Structure 1
């Protein structure tokens, strides 16, 4: 049953409530008090949820993310406009202006904004213009859609990206007004792109939870993405994701680059991103997500990575993805002769076949010299038999499998299927890392997690560093301790060992049992203590048994 839209009155700036404002109901007041005690992100989400009322999560995500995007690009525009105004008033500046007419020319010159990676917004299409009309405009949804349409026309890179869904959304005009006022509380300035990006990501994460399985189509939990990126280390070159969703792999790759900008100063750094997204609605979210963070998205395209095969000639230095698990309908009938599936074998039209089709597609696009790849798959992929088992054997014999990681359960918001990470490299003797031909690292990380609520786990920053650090030690990366096998956690296995296990790649088969710490208690003393404890427990058990029999006899059930 759809929940009724509720009006939540914004907190007054003064101590007294204006007379024309209606009071909150007791239920609304209780909810408002709860909201007031929350973090800023939580407060935004909870308040927006109340205002949105009966709108479904699939519709609401477009409204919320669309409004936040307009707020962000408007703030960035206003910042740049102030910079231009300052420059035009500075006699030492190249664009110094003596007349107001000349100053207006520079302030409204589109190139002054686009050259700095900022979207150009005409008067009437800015957040400040929207704020001016929200209390008087009777058809606010129509007005917002018209604004978005004009913004797209003025910025070709946004063509078809912005969600023009406001006029048709079942949200009252007053509630939409309050939603605009709510998002107006998000402040941005020169160094707040990351903060705004966190809020945007927070909303995407919550939408993913609300949408269930469909939410997984556009959002991969950050801790999994971080682990992939920390192991692949995308310092330079092309980064490719054939099922890019909301662009999380690209965002994290840029964060990695920024965090390590002072390292490897003798190495050229910088990446170009290429991606494919099958659903237009998800592609729009991706492009807005990247734009908020100042990341170019011209090579992120709409299509099916199998059947449409955009970027067909691409060779990437890093390939990473969280593709749909167990996709039976991947295109077998049309792609049996496709070059992507000739080297290792053609996967079957089955759930297992879908997993291997994604793997082979990604391997096909991997650079031969320094290509490295990471993919998230369902655990069943590690032991699939038949045709897929033979494909896996061929990959192992080609010596491209570098590392396997078994993940803990309940990391995903949308599925409970246990997952694992596969890592491949085209060159185990690249001169930059330890020569490790014929070796594969197995890590069993099933017990490494942090519980965040009753049903959900995540990998903490320290846990990500632990797992990534194990891999870096394995490849002999400078600054990390020498690698050693740890029973129950990690083991380097040879191709012969993997062959003896019928090419099954479950880490638990290789890492063995965890060592049990010795408590240093002498054996004779330990046995004496344990037998004494056992005698006491036996005596108590006999007494309890006698009491139970007595009670049963009293109620007519003698044993």
Structure 2
């Protein structure tokens, strides 16, 4: 997006969030998010439906040789009959399904919500199919009715739209939310007088993702169950480069990896001058999530993005009820709960997934690892966010599993992350990158070389910036530096389209190091990047060592003296107040 579009989206984010948060009152974020996100979804499907209606109306009236939709005016006795025919034609469901647009019945359309929400309770709204009067009960009922109508008309959405009546928001607050979203143009956006090339789907998809992040921040620890920080998701997607194939996330939360993959494909298509829509046909999305409300959030997220998905028949435990048992994915990405304790069942004792060793019953880290490897295609690659302990722990078979993963040459790259990246935990984290084809042999990829017996370590702990007092984030430059280092190492050299030059991989003290298996063996298969990359080189300031040492020693002596003086002053003051020290 250009700078103007980015400014528009930021201003929109701020406006909508402030308006929605002001209306939140005493309802906590964990519940309020379903109300707000549900309304965003209704606005999205209604806008997409209206956009398709406008396109159809233009086609119905366009007299061109190749237009199969054309309705000739001369076939009708009067303008009134012709206009009625046009309206009747606009209500044919197949026109929308052929364009992959959700059918929105009249009671669920945004204009209906906006118009009927302000009416007095008990007002007759319409008649149902049996001819009975349908009366307004409350605004929350009106919204739930819209959600039910949409589910009933679109099999893909069956069971995924969360009803809001249970949260008991009063009518005025809901009308305020409806007005907030109504006052914003999602179909023909303009910023500072300049028309923008953004579609409703792009804008509402962005707003949905932004609100997910804001709710995750508001919920703190609980929010981390469904939201992985955007910069980490982007980093993993940029490193794996999922151009085409099957993409799988066994702990998908709200589906952030899939959204980022979709954006990556669009960006890649733009750079290569491909058709993005055509490119997306080569991607299949598979996910699983145990939490039922999070499972619904993810499905809504995909629907808003127009991403076709398979999240299994229902929400389910990944270990005990694998929804994709036969899947072999080209890319697997996940951010499962760190160090999950309560996961084991005796039914898992001899599971085929534990090829590299049975995981500890009190820690699921290497269970997630092996589940993902089990679902990898012969040329597949994966990225897994785990707690730092996974790189070095030797308790309860973890060290043995790690050794086997290294010796069987599945591990490709380890990335140590800085602290304070997550809303829900302060546990230091890392990213494991594994692949089943370091030889680059089964499917030749011109961008990669034979990397058997080689490993890359990246220490990114010093990167990033503090977004606020508690959260750290990566810049785009940080993400590019890490991803480019990985890709250059995979190829040993990599041509840059921007500069027109080729970059060659080289070790950088304190940041990255390429090693062979023998060196990892010397470290007893511990995979902590800091052990390999060493300390960053310090710039020579030109001051001789002896002089610098004398200067620093003198400064330290002065600071000790000042500390002693201040301590005596504090004691004297406390003594004057009658306190003994």
Smaller-chain TM-score bracket: 0.7 to 0.9
Structure 1 residue 313 corresponds to structure 2 residue 321: no
Cα deviation 1:201-223 (Å, max 9, x = unaligned): 11111111222222111111110
Distance 1:540 1:488, change over 3 A: closer
- Quote the residue 1:117 is aligned against: 100
Tell me whether 140-149 or 357-366 shows the greater mean CA deviation.
Answer: 140-149
Gaps of 5+ in 2: 1-9, 77-81, 122-137, 188-197, 496-501
- Quote the residue 1:26 is aligned against: none
Write the mapping of 1:10-29 to structure 2, written as runs, cut at 5 A: none
Q: Distance in 2 between matches of 1:58 and 1:552?
A: 50
| 1:429 Cα offset (Å) | 1.6
- Quote the residue 1:416 is aligned against: 426
Cα deviation 1:407-432 (Å, max 9, x = unaligned): 00011111111110000011112142
Match of 2:118 among 121, 135, 144: 135
Match of 1:344 among 332, 337, 356: 356
2:167 partner SS: coil
Contact 2:494 2:504 in 1 (8 A): no
Distance 1:141 1:535, change over 3 A: closer
Cα deviation 1:235-283 (Å, max 9, x = unaligned): 1110011111111100101111110115568999421111111122111
Distance 1:55 1:537, change over 3 A: closer
Structure 1 residue 333 corresponds to structure 2 residue 346: yes
Q: Distance in 2 between matches of 1:544 and 1:509?
A: 37
Q: Distance in 2 between matches of 1:497 and 1:372?
A: 23
Match of 2:13 among 30, 34, 41: 41
Structure 1 residue 156 corresponds to structure 2 residue 155: yes
Contact 2:335 2:384 in 1 (8 A): yes
Write the mapping of 1:373-388 to structure 2, written as runs, cut at 5 A: 373-385=382-394, 386-388=396-398
Distance 1:482 1:300, change over 3 A: farther
Q: Distance in 2 between matches of 1:164 and 1:384?
A: 44
Structure 1 residue 215 corresponds to structure 2 residue 218: no
Q: Distance in 2 between matches of 1:474 and 1:531?
A: 43
| 1:529 Cα offset (Å) | 6.6
- Quote the residue 1:456 is aligned against: 471
Gaps of 5+ in 1: 1-37
Structure 1 residue 180 corresponds to structure 2 residue 195: no
**TM-score with structure 2 length normalisation?**
0.83
Cα deviation 1:116-160 (Å, max 9, x = unaligned): 121111222200011111211421111211111111101111111
Match of 2:302 among 290, 296, 301: 290
| 1:55 Cα offset (Å) | 1.7
- Quote the residue 1:94 is aligned against: 68
1:340 partner SS: coil
Q: Distance in 2 between matches of 1:528 and 1:409?
A: 36
Write the mapping of 1:71-110 to structure 2, written as runs, cut at 5 A: 71-92=43-64, 93-97=67-71, 98=73, 99=76, 100=82, 101-110=84-93
Q: Distance in 2 between matches of 1:51 and 1:278?
A: 30
Q: Distance in 2 between matches of 1:462 and 1:70?
A: 36
Q: Distance in 1 between matches of 2:224 and 2:472?
A: 16
- Quote the residue 2:247 is aligned against: 239
- Quote the residue 1:531 is aligned against: 550
- Quote the residue 1:204 is aligned against: 212
Structure 1 residue 467 corresponds to structure 2 residue 482: yes
**TM-score with structure 1 length normalisation?**
0.86
Structure 1 residue 478 corresponds to structure 2 residue 494: yes
1:423 partner SS: strand
Q: Distance in 2 between matches of 1:178 and 1:304?
A: 38
- Quote the residue 1:195 is aligned against: 203
| 1:330 Cα offset (Å) | 2.2
Cα deviation 1:14-66 (Å, max 9, x = unaligned): xxxxxxxxxxxxxxxxxxxxxxxx93312322221222212222221110000
- Quote the residue 1:22 is aligned against: none
1:481 partner SS: strand
Q: Distance in 1 between matches of 2:563 and 2:335?
A: 56
Q: Distance in 1 between matches of 2:160 and 2:558?
A: 75
Distance 1:103 1:551, change over 3 A: closer
Structure 1 residue 407 corresponds to structure 2 residue 417: yes
Runs of 4+ that moved beyond 6 A: 264-268, 539-557
Cα deviation 1:50-101 (Å, max 9, x = unaligned): 2221222222111000001101110111111011111111122312213434
Pairwise CA RMSD: 2.7
Tell me whether 47-56 or 203-212 shows the greater mean CA deviation.
Answer: 47-56
Structure 1 residue 514 corresponds to structure 2 residue 540: no
Q: Distance in 1 between matches of 2:569 and 2:139?
A: 78
| 1:382 Cα offset (Å) | 0.8
1:367 partner SS: strand
2:203 partner SS: helix
